[in-house]
Chains A and B, each alone.
Chain A
Amino acid sequence: MQWEIVIGLEVHTQLSTQSKIFSGASTAYGALPNTQASFVDLALPGVLPVLNRGAVERAIKFGLAVNATINSPSIFARKNYFYPDLPKGYQISQYERPIVEGGSIAIQVGETEKTIRLTRAHLEEDAGKSLHEDFHGMSGIDLNRAGTPLLEIVSEPDLRSSAEAVAYAKTLHALVRWIGICDGNMQEGSFRCDANVSVRPRGQEKYGTRCEIKNLNSFRFLEKAIDFEVERQIEILEEGGSIRQETRLFDANKGETRTMRTKEDANDYRYFPDPDLLPVEIAPDWIEQLRVSLPELPQARRERYVTEYGLSGYDAAVLTSSREMADYFEAAAKQLPERVKLCANWIMGDISARLNRDGLDIGECPVGPAHVAQLINRIQDGTISGKAAKTVFESLWQGEQGQDVDAIIEAKGLKQMSDNSALEKLIDDVLAANAQQVADYRGGKEKAFNALVGQVMKAAQGKANPAQVNAMLKEKLG
């Protein structure tokens, strides 16, 4: 049977506010346990939550960026359950009237663009952390993280493969960083995915029973977990079994998912509007103010790169995978409007590879876009060969010659022979020394021509412009 995979993602993004969503405590990562837990975070008797406006602002920005409805009033609700790292015995979240409803995100898978609909995005507070080691049979509780603002972004079940899920997660990751609402640090848990996965016979309208896989904190894990889960479900179904709706945990070491809790032992969270927090009224001019403050969004840039610069959809998607990348590209492209494709290739090729080698982000690239433009110019005007350009780039990276492209070319003697007479003499010498190949070529052996080019290039010690050598050789051999 042909199976269709159906995936919806729930992504918890940590909003980049200085203080927590309902208290004044700092959200900075990595402090000593419980040093960033205020009386409110500890849920002492009598304390009350006060909403952090910055968190609301970031949620609205997200809503605007995905063309969603911003609900006003928006309501906070209590989600009741007991756990030691949940100090109040309830999590303040949103149930009815979440701040963001609807909207969509366009993703690029290969050369195909696809629109993924969003169900909602709601504000909530994070829980603390339970530490099960080093406490001699007891558990430790660290409440530093308790009350950290989260925006939970829920997609519709529009994703049809792990590749699409990863593309969606990456696009979302880029977007929240792009608009400055989340630092996107996945190691520190600033961007965590839960995947709802089901399969159904192709052509069937009804969704299959889904399983939710929790806490996938890297794109690779997301992909592996989905692939494993899809295979598991198909295997069960093909053997005539049925899927049990449950929450599963991904074991990164074993590369498999396993049951965490079944639907039967699911909590009744008894959601109800939090009487300590008034419904949030969001004035239209507040929304307008935030709309104006938004940068040009990745989707808009992607479209512009295709229409304005003639780049492929794939290239445009890669170049807009982060705001730093897009800004870098545009800065270079602006200086070389005629050579945009070449800029794109350099950034996606040599520069990205070099950055990867040192584990750097493009924002940390030691070679600025102006230098890259200059370098490309020198290739274009024939001063250096493409191969020599790589050497120049490495020198730029190392900061040699005060990052002066021309000085590096000069110092390293990388200039191509643009002097026709010198090249002509060189060619003449090569032709004289390789009479056999000349004869072969004239006799119709095309391959012999390439050999001659190689000889000339070798004699020129790489400094000849291959195009020029080609042209001159052709002319000479008539």
Chain B
Amino acid sequence: MFNDSLKQLSERLANREISSVELTTEFLRRIGKLNPQYNAFITVDEEKSLAQARHADQKIAAGETGPLTGIPIAQKDIFCAKGWLTTCGSKMLSNFVSPYDADVIERFNRAGAINIGKTNMDEFAMGSSNETSYFGPVRNPWDAAAVPGGSSGGSACAVAARMAPAATGTDTGGSIRQPAALCGISGIKPTYGAVSRYGMIAFASSLDQGGPMAKSAEDLALMLNVMTGFDERDSTSLQREKEDYGRDLSKPLSGLRIGLPREYFAKGMSSDVEKAIEQALDEYRRLGAETVEVSLPNSPLSIPVYYVLAPAEASSNLSRFDGVRYGYRAQAFQDLAEMYRNTRAEGFGAEVKRRILIGTYVLSHGYYDAYYIKAQKLRRLIAQDFKNAFKQCDVIMGPTTPAVAFDLGEKSSDPIQMYLSDIYTSAANLAGLPGMSIPVGFGDKMRPVGLHIIGDYFSEARMLNIAHQYQLVTDWHQRAPDL
């Protein structure tokens, strides 16, 4: 049952083979068993989850069901959920109980899904290993010595360890795709604006995008159907007609043109990852796709551009955490300035402070043009690269990460090395394009490898089709660590 797809679980519920309360209880039990070791969840609230499950069972009894009714979903702790502790992985919000629901949470509630718990994450989504969480690191279910990736490491771990059938994540520079790759699950960051940011605690507003993490492309489609949609409370939300992301899943792939960026395959990729990626591409060729070489000449700039723009926005977004109205406030201070200083010095972790400092610096008088404006210009060039590439291909593929999961502590003292984990993923955020990762095998130390798929704007249904067809002929996505 823990390995069931969302569709299978939904069928079991519909057949009354199992009730939502029973299902929820099973998952809560598994969380109780595994979480002490893996630390995927910051908050689990059995009472709240079971109350939702009871409500879902009533709906099922009344025949008012949707595809996710009664199914437990893990929610990244970046999404505000009414009555739930919502910490964003930070000491700063370690006491913050949200008085309202994020748009994403509302949508899952309306769909009758069960919030099975709030997942661990890098502090304010800043990190690629989940080691910056105030609530301790998450461990990779495939190898407890390895990091799960980040920032949605708790969600990736929860799905990979089968503590939840599916989870939500957010992706600012790769925070859904990188942990999905490192934990051997599927994850998609849709086109910027597809998922409302209302109630999703902001890291870098112009890059942040919520998305689902699950075992398969098929499950991702069901999750996206619930998560996406116009929200007037988010001015950057896309006003588009509701679509069924699963509509094209079964289309054959013959004639598909897969673009392979020269720059992604040139250097930097470790050989074990390369081997798994090549095998996946061979599988695609067997499915009728052809591969063409494309070029993204500005892609080497995406990390420096990202590390100017994201911290710039973050430095401003995180100003509200000042100890005045909610959240952590320092105990000792003499005056207002000291209250701010002590609160923020004690409430934020090192990585968050580093980014606030970088962001403050690049926005400062005299540096703004050289950094922020320059980065914005390069951002447009990076987006233009993709536009050109999509004239030659339907999707772009490559590795999600340059290497498999690294060990805990391995990169935590070297921020530059850590930042390079997002080398392949951050360009999609800068361009606003949809990107996904699916498991395509194992590399060194039997740690998972993820295939990165970047599509054109609004091509999520096509991307899910491409992933699903692969998953029909392979079983990497069904592999689970033996826990």
Chain A, range 27-65, C-beta contacts under 8 Å to B: 39, 42-51
What CA separation (Å) do A276 and B372 show in the bound complex? 17
The residues of A that contact B88 with a CB separation of less than 8 Å are: 45
Encoded as 1 (CB less than 8 Å from any A CB) or 0, chain B from 412 to 433 comes to 0000000000000000000000
A272 within 8 A of B: yes
Per a CB cutoff under 8 Å, which of B233, B316, B326 touches A272?
Answer: B316
| Cβ–Cβ contact A268 & B365, under 8 A | yes
Q: Are the CB atoms of A45 and B96 closer together than 8 Å?
A: yes
Selected from B79, B100, B235, B363, the residue in CB contact (under 8 A) with A51 is: B235
Contacts of A272 in B (CB 8 A): 312, 316, 363, 368, 372
Binary A-proximity of B324-352 (CB < 8 A = 1, otherwise 0): 11110000000010001000000000000
B320 and A277 contacting across the interface, CB-CB below 8 Å? no
A45 to B201, CA, bound (A): 5
Stretch at the interface among B182-190, B192-200, B258-266: B192-200
Q: Which residues of B contact A47 (CB under 8 A)?
A: 198-199
A270 at the interface (CB under 8 A from B): yes
CB-CB under 8 A for A90 and B325, given A44-B99, A45-B93, A82-B340: no
Question: Contacts of B201 on A, CB cut-off 8 Å?
Answer: 45-46
A89 adjacent to chain B (CB < 8 Å):
yes
List residues of chain A with CB within 8 A of the CB of B102.
46
**Least Cβ–Cβ distance between B25 and chain A, in angstroms:** 30
Chain B residues whose CB sits within 8 angstroms of the CB of A271 once the complex forms:
363
Would A44 and B233 be within 8 Å (CB), given that A89-B319, A89-B320, A90-B319 are in contact? no
Q: Which residue of A lies closest to B237 (CB)?
A: A48
The reply to whether A44 and B316 contact each other, CB–CB distance below 8 Å, is no
**Is A270 a contact partner of B235 (Cβ separation < 8 A)?**
no
The reply to whether A90 and B336 form a contact with Cβ atoms under 8 Å apart is no
- Interface pair B364/A275, CB less than 8 Å apart: no
User: Is residue B360 contacting chain A, with contact meaning CB distance below 8 A?
Assistant: yes
Assembly CA distance A316 to B388 (angstroms)? 64
Do the beta carbons of A50 and B235 come within 8 Å of each other? yes
Alpha-carbon distance between A78 and B99 when the two chains are bound, in angstroms: 26
The reply to whether A45 and B99 contact each other, CB–CB distance below 8 Å, is no
A84: B residues at CB distance < 8 A: 322, 324, 336
A276-B99 in contact (CB<8A):
no
Query: Is B202 close to A, CB under 8 A?
Result: yes
Q: How far is the CB of B341 from chain A (nearest CB, A)?
A: 10
Find out whether the CB atom of B319 lies under 8 angstroms from the CB atom of A80.
yes
Query: In the complex, which residue of chain B has the Cβ closest to the Cβ of A143?
Result: B325
Return B91 CB to nearest CB of chain A, in Å.
Answer: 14
Which of chain B's residues have a CB closer than 8 A to the CB of A268? 364-365
Q: CB within 8 A of A44: which of B80, B232, B324, B360?
A: B80
A268-B364, A275-B206 are known contacts. Are A46 and B324 too (CB-CB below 8 A)? no
A343 to chain B, nearest CB (A): 52
Interface string of B91-106 (1 = CB under 8 A from A): 0010010111010000
In chain B, residues 37-88, which have Cβ atoms closer than 8 Å to a Cβ of chain A? 79-80, 86, 88
Which residues from chain B contact A46 at a C-beta distance below 8 Å?
Answer: 79-80, 98, 102, 197-202
Residues of B close to A278: CB separation below 8 A: 235-236
Are the CB atoms of B93 and A80 closer together than 8 Å? no
Q: Whose C-beta in chain A lies nearest to the C-beta of B312?
A: A272
Shortest Cβ gap from B122 to chain A (Å): 16
Which of B206, B235, B316, B336 is close to A49, meaning CB atoms less than 8 Å apart? Answer: B235
Does the CB pair A80–B316 fall under 8 Å? yes
| A87 and B206 alpha carbons, distance in the complex (Å) | 21
- Tell me the minimal C-beta distance from B137 to chain A in angstroms: 23
**Interface majority SS (helix, strand, loop, mixed), chain B:** loop
Q: Is the CB of A82 within 8 A of B319?
A: yes
Say how far B360's CB is from chain A's closest CB, in angstroms.
Answer: 7
**In angstroms, how far is the closest chain B Cβ from the Cβ of A183?**
28
Bitwise, A69-96 to B at CB < 8 A (1) or not (0) is: 0000000001010101001111000000
Report Cα–Cα, A106/B233, bound state, in Å.
Answer: 41
Which residues on the B side are within 8 Å of A276 (C-beta)? Answer: 202, 205, 235-236
**Any B CB within 8 A of the CB of A141:** yes
Give Cα A78–Cα B317 distance, bound, in whole angstroms: 10
- The answer to whether A44 and B236 touch across the interface, beta carbons within 8 angstroms, is no
Alpha-carbon distance between A272 and B369 when the two chains are bound, in angstroms: 11
CB of A97, distance to nearest CB on chain B (Å): 14
Q: How far is the CA of A80 from the CA of B364 in the complex (A)?
A: 10
Q: How far is the CA of A78 from the CA of B363 in the complex (A)?
A: 11
* Cβ < 8 Å to A, chain B residues 252-283: none
Q: Report the Cα distance A13→B366, complex, angstroms.
A: 31
Measured between beta carbons, the chain B residues less than 8 angstroms from A48 are 197-198, 233-235
Whether, in the assembled complex, B460 has its beta carbon less than 8 Å from a beta carbon of chain A, the answer is no
Q: Is residue B313 contacting chain A, with contact meaning CB distance below 8 A?
A: yes
Contact A39 B86 (CB under 8 A): no
Residues of A within 8 A of B365 (CB): 268, 270
- Partner among A42, A44, A50, A80 whose Cβ is within 8 Å of the Cβ of B363: A80
Q: Which B residues are in CB contact (< 8 Å) with A90?
A: 316, 319
B194-216 interface with A by 8 A CB criterion? 197-202, 204-206
- B321 CB to nearest chain A CB (Å): 8
In Å, the complex CA distance between A400 and B236 comes to 63
For the A-B complex with A42-B326, A46-B197 known, give 17 more contacts whose Cβ atoms are closer than 8 Å: A44-B99, A44-B100, A45-B202, A45-B320, A46-B80, A46-B98, A48-B198, A50-B233, A87-B325, A89-B316, A89-B318, A268-B364, A270-B316, A275-B236, A275-B313, A276-B236, A278-B236
Can you offer 27 A-B residue contacts whose CB atoms are under 8 A? A39-B100, A42-B325, A42-B326, A43-B320, A44-B98, A45-B80, A45-B88, A46-B80, A46-B102, A46-B198, A46-B200, A46-B202, A48-B198, A48-B233, A50-B233, A80-B315, A82-B322, A87-B320, A87-B324, A87-B325, A89-B320, A90-B316, A90-B319, A268-B364, A270-B360, A272-B312, A275-B205
The 10 nearest A-B residue pairs measured at CB? A89-B319, A270-B363, A275-B205, A275-B206, A46-B199, A43-B320, A45-B201, A46-B80, A46-B201, A268-B365
**B contact residues vs A (CB 8 Å cutoff):** 79-80, 86, 88, 93, 96, 98-100, 102, 197-202, 204-206, 232-236, 312-313, 315-316, 318-322, 324-327, 336, 340, 360, 363-365, 368, 372
